[in-house]
Amino acid sequence: MITPAQRNKLIAAARAARQRAYAPYSKFHVGAAVLDERGRIHVGCNVENGSFGLTVCAERNAVAAAIAAGAARVRAVAVFADEAASPCGACRQVLAEFGGLGTDIFVASPQAKGHDSLTLHGLLPMQFIYRDPARAPFGRRRPRGRRARA
Q: Which domains does the chain have, with CATH numbers?
A: 4-124 (3.40.140.10)
Annotation says 37 is catalytic: no
- In the set 37, 48, 59, 83, the catalytic residue is 59
DSSP per-residue string spanning 7-58: HHHHHHHHHHHHTT-B-TTT---EEEEEEETTS-EEEEE-B--SSGGG-B-H
Q: What is the pTM of this model?
A: 0.84
Q: What is the pLDDT along the chain (150 residues), one digit of tens a residue?
A: 799 999 999 999 999 999 999 999 999 999 999 999 999 999 999 999 999 899 999 999 999 999 999 999 999 999 999 999 999 999 999 999 999 889 999 999 998 888 999 999 998 888 877 776 665 554 444 344 444 444
The torsion region of residue 135 among left (phi > 0), alpha (psi -120 to 50) and beta comes to beta
